[in-house]
Structure 1
Amino acid sequence: MTTATQMKCACNSCLCVVSLESAVLKDGQNYCSGACADGHKNGQVCGRTGCTCNAA
């Protein structure tokens, strides 16, 4: 049996894979950052290198 330790951020536009230990948990979903978990309020991006989720 294999246990997952990482998964894709639950934000649809995000490309990040997040460790389940460090994920931001919101509504049962795992996100890589508070910006993704909050739905990119005010156009915030997740800030991870190479990811441009919700960038204008």
Structure 2
Amino acid sequence: MTGINDLGIWEHNAVELESSLRTFIANARTAKADIRMIFGKILPIKRPLASRTSPLR
């Protein structure tokens, strides 16, 4: 299972995150063409922007 921290949500804006996710999916399909994936909604983060610089905070 891959979570938001594995996709680099803490270091990227929305456009970069989408690009990263598309690359992840393309690589998975290259490795296994009939791969099955399940996607869910990323819940909003309700912390101030200043505290979002690291998943460790």
TM over 0.5: no
The structure with the larger Rg is 2
**Structure with greater helix percent:** 2
Higher strand proportion: 1
Q: Please indicate the TM-score interval, normalised by the length of the shorter structure.
A: under 0.3
Q: Which has the higher contact order (CA 8 A, sep 6+)?
A: 2
Name the TM-score, length of structure 2 as normaliser. Answer: 0.22
TM-score (normalizing by structure 1): 0.23
